[in-house]
């Protein structure tokens, strides 16, 4: 997400500054004509069939105006293209004020896993007085549409992280700005991304905390917000005794929060990592990179797609568009095991997907953060295979892993980052239906003595934690391709005997 942001006007209060600007100013002054000249030109251009109203519209069309709001320390935000007035974003909507959105930064650490401490970008002393440790990585978790920063899944993600590492876990709570109509929330996400970037800038300027220690994790809309922050925060401006670089930060965004992470990442050069958890489709798929999450928003961007079916008619809330260096499509990315669409979910509009029984309505969409949650404690249970399509993957055309290996979907995906410089690589895997989603893929090769045999094949796995049950994996008549001696072993292939 390349930045189109510019620094806010100095001296502005926290009130909104709205200013109209004319598109004609973008044209050269040589093209300017006086009102009298325009009137004459309009009269000569009007055909006999033109009505007075059409004549007026033709004269004022070159002066159609957009609007812009500016907030101190956050910059300016307009409603013109590509943010509004396009086929994908037809409505021109400005984001709310920071005060109305009410973003909070809730810090959990290994020392305070159950109670958060509030950090204020406007008051660095709140960081100084907290348990924030500059020698640790920082992971920001950014929720999506109609969600909140103190939701159970967000806190559980922090607690799982504390089991495997010492880390600063910051939950970005922008529930006031997300619990509105979807189109308004999508635009509010731009301000939230700028606020995340502002926090990263404070960590950089006050503590020299490098972007390479930052990981942004955004769900749905939050993923796109995280990306935007990367390009809007300047690099390190001064060094202090704390030496905390933005490169130690990880942004995590779910749903709409995935785009929030993208927004933040685009404002923070040198940001280490953004994880997009099923980035939302509506108002973002097919837009320019400056609007949505994209690989330029961080040094490493990984995306998990779990609800990528088209919004119409299948009510898929996530996007099928690849937006990272590594894009994971578990179970094909559209229908997750254990989730079933039904008539009720088909009639729920986008603004209401989180109302009431959200697990019932948005099961596929929520699986993205559930997979990530489990992956933290299961480092090798989500191996994903490079493949052109899920159909090819199901046909075993992409097994086993290539020479460079296979990445793990979820928390440990960054261990694969240095093995390739390519962007938008597609990976597939399968998961279980409920908790204990992790699955392992095995290849079974069997040889046959003789030309034919009839029976079935069952497999049981043995390990240091016990044995599995027997699984029936094959039931055919078996035959080899050629007639050979009985003591010759051949690769087994299925065949049908009349």
pLDDT tens-digit readout, 104-140: 999 999 999 999 999 999 999 999 999 999 999 999 9
Domain extent listing, the chain? 98-429, 447-495
CA distance 275 to 171: 14
CATH architecture of the domain with residue range 98-429: 3-Layer(aba) Sandwich (3.40)
Distances, alpha carbon 318 to alpha carbons 151, 307, 395, 424, in Å: 20, 5, 25, 17
- Is 365 one of the catalytic residues? yes
Does residue 255 carry a pLDDT above 50? yes
Comparing 173 with 494, which gets the higher pLDDT? 173
A 10 A CB-CB count for 152 gives 7
pLDDT at 380: 94
Which residues are documented as binding site for Ca(2+)?
Answer: 289, 292, 294, 297
CA distance 277 to 370: 10
If you average pLDDT over each of 109-123, 142-156, 423-437, which comes out highest? 109-123
pLDDT at 316: 75
Three-class SS state of 470: coil
Q: Is the pTM of this model over 0.75?
A: yes
Which residues are documented as binding site?
Answer: 289, 292, 294, 297
Catalytic residue among 79, 147, 201, 278: 278
Three-class SS state of 221: helix
Three-class SS state of 295: helix
Question: Can you read off the two tokens belonging to residue 349?
Answer: 């509009």
Distances, alpha carbon 24 to alpha carbons 41, 76, 83, in Å: 17, 20, 19
Catalytic residue among 220, 231, 272, 368: 220
- For 48-62, 75-89, 177-191, 380-394, which range has the lowest pLDDT when averaged over its residues? 48-62
- Is 278 one of the catalytic residues? yes
- Is 250 one of the catalytic residues? no
Catalytic residue among 365, 368, 375, 480: 365
């Amino acid at each position: 997400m390349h930045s189109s942001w510019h620094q806010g006007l100095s001296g502005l209060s926290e009130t909104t500054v709205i200013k109209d600007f004319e598109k004609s100013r973008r044209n050269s002054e040589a093209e300017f004509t006086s009102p009298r000249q325009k009137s004459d030109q309009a009269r000569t251009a009007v055909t006999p069939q033109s009505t007075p109203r059409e004549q007026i519209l033709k004269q004022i069309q070159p002066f159609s105006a957009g609007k812009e709001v500016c907030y101190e320390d956050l910059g300016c935000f307009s409603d013109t293209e590509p943010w509004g007035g396009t086929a994908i974003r037809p409505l021109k909507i400005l984001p709310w004020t920071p005060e109305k959105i009410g973003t909070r930064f809730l810090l959990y650490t290994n020392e305070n896993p159950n109670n958060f401490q509030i950090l204020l970008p406007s008051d660095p002393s709140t960081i100084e007085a907290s348990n924030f440790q500059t020698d640790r990585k920082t992971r920001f978790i950014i929720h999506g549409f109609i969600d909140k920063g103190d939701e159970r899944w967000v806190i559980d993600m922090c607690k799982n992280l504390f089991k495997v590492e010492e880390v600063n876990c910051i939950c970005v709570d922008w529930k006031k700005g997300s619990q509105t109509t979807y189109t308004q929330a999508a635009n509010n996400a731009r301000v939230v991304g700028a606020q995340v970037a502002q926090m990263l800038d404070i960590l950089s300027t006050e503590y020299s905390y490098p972007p390479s220690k930052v990981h942004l994790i955004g769900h749905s809309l939050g993923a796109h917000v995280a990306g935007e922050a990367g390009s809007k925060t300047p690099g390190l401006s001064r060094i202090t005794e704390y030496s905390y670089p933005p490169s130690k930060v990880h942004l995590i965004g779910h749903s709409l929060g995935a785009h929030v992470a993208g927004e933040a990442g685009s404002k923070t050069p040198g940001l280490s990592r953004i994880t997009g958890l099923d980035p939302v489709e509506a108002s973002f798929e097919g837009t320019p990179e400056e609007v949505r999450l994209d690989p330029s928003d961080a040094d490493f961007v990984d995306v998990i797609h779990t609800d990528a079916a088209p919004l119409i008619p299948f009510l898929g809330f996530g996007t099928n568009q690849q937006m990272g260096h590594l894009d994971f499509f578990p179970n094909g990315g559209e229908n997750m095991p254990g989730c079933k669409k039904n008539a009720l979910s088909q009639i729920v509009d986008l603004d209401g997907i989180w109302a009431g029984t959200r697990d019932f309505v948005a099961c596929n969409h929520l699986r993205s953060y559930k997979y990530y949650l489990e992956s933290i404690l299961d480092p090798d249970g989500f191996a994903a295979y490079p493949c052109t399509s899920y159909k090819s993957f199901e046909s075993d055309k992409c097994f086993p892993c290539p020479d460079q290996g296979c990445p793990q979907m979820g928390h440990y995906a960054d261990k694969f980052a240095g093995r390739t410089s390519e962007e938008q690589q597609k990976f597939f895997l399968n998961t279980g239906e409920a908790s204990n989603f992790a699955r392992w893929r095995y290849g079974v090769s069997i040889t046959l003595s003789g030309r034919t045999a009839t029976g079935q094949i069952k497999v049981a796995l043995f390990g240091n934690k016990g044995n599995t049950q027997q699984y029936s994996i094959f039931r055919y008549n078996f035959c080899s391709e050629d007639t050979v001696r009985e003591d010759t072993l051949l690769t087994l292939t299925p065949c049908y005997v009349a």
